[in-house]
Amino acid sequence: MRSRVVTCALLAVALAFGVLVLGTGDYPLTPAEVLRTLSGGGDAGAHFVVWELRLPRVLTALAAGAALALSGALFQALVRNPLGSPDVLGFTSGAAMGALVSIVVLGGSSTVLAGGAVAGAVLSGAVVLLASRRGPFVLAGVATAAVLTGVNGYLLTRAQLMDAARAVLWLTGSLDGRDWSDVRTALGALVLLAPVAVVGYGRALRLLELGDDSAAALGVRVPRTRYVLLSVAVLLAAAAAAACGPVSFVALAAPQLARRLTRTPGPNLVPSAAMGAALLVAADWLSQRAVPGHALPVGVLTGLLGGGYLVWLLASHRRVAAR
């Protein structure tokens, strides 16, 4: 019951911040005006601003945040490590490499960039899975991320000035200029893949947290379940990166914050997704208001807040270990 209440509260917070974002910008609207416009009222100017310019941005933030958080929850449950997330394990760097190749080498459109990001994340996932056969999964992911960071830096040095500026903006993680194709990318992946993790393999994932031997004794096909869920996690992170760039730390922080609120053991997949949606849309609202007269890319704000959270997490684990 507590988990359901927390999930509903987080969804309400996400929707509330979504309404605030819809009213934020050079054409300000009050929450009442936003709701009236969404329900079919309002003048022509408000209708254009809300439905054509800002609603794709908000829906992309909600869907990408949920996808990132769900991906992070799956990784943390599968590797049994609170640092398990697409950021740390190299999948975000793989998506960045694919996007950079699309921009620098192919000079592609936004559609080509999205496809390159997905392909890069899938390729990095395959590399990490192969490398993890001879060592810890997290260590393989960190090593892959380090290599890909070097490759991405080299690609930036080979880019033309305009391509480099476009690539840097994407690498920062931004919701500016999102359109309905970005909504379809993030929301489509979430609709297709979330039921696989939550409904199809939710029970198996909870049993895996008991250990592979215990899960196998209870009827779980451990290798198959692990590979399916890892694939789902990689594709969710890839779709989110394709929609809004490699927004950092949402996948790392959202599952842990959701678990602290629900006080429920297990992966907490649905509360984590709700927390991710609320975090990203709230960060988008704050990024537009943090510096007067200048909107920050949302990835800058999540990076600053996430870095502080990571330092606090490491310090708290050190205090627990010292006891």
In this prediction, residue 131 carries a pLDDT of 80
Which of 196, 167, 213 lies closest to 74, judged by CA? 196
Residue with tokens 């489509």: 188
Highest mean pLDDT among 57-71, 173-187, 288-302: 57-71
What percentage of the chain has pLDDT greater than the value 70? 97
In this prediction, residue 58 carries a pLDDT of 96
Q: Is the pLDDT of residue 72 over 70?
A: yes
CATH architecture of 2-322: Orthogonal Bundle (1.10)
- pLDDT: which is higher, 206 or 210: 206
Q: Is the pLDDT of residue 271 over 90?
A: yes
Q: Is the pLDDT of residue 108 over 70?
A: no
Domain boundaries, the chain: 2-322
In this prediction, residue 136 carries a pLDDT of 78
- How far is it, in rounded angstroms, from Cα 94 to Cα 247? 13
CB 249 within 8 A of CB 192: no
Could you read off the pLDDT of 220-263 as tens digits, one per residue?
888 888 889 989 998 999 899 888 888 888 998 899 899 989 98
Could you read off the pLDDT of 256-269 as tens digits, one per residue?
899 989 988 878 99
The mean per-residue pLDDT over the stretch 6-28 comes to: 93
In this prediction, residue 308 carries a pLDDT of 77
In this prediction, residue 71 carries a pLDDT of 94
What does pLDDT average to over the chain? 87
In this prediction, residue 12 carries a pLDDT of 96
In this prediction, residue 322 carries a pLDDT of 63
Sorting pLDDT into bands at 50, 70 and 90, what band is 285? very high
In this prediction, residue 195 carries a pLDDT of 95
DSSP-derived secondary structure for 92-146: HHHHHHHHHIIIIIS---HHHHHHHHHHHHHHHHHHHHHHHTTS-HHHHHHHHHH
DSSP symbol at 51: I
From 30-44, 120-134, 220-234, 275-289, the region with the lowest mean pLDDT: 120-134
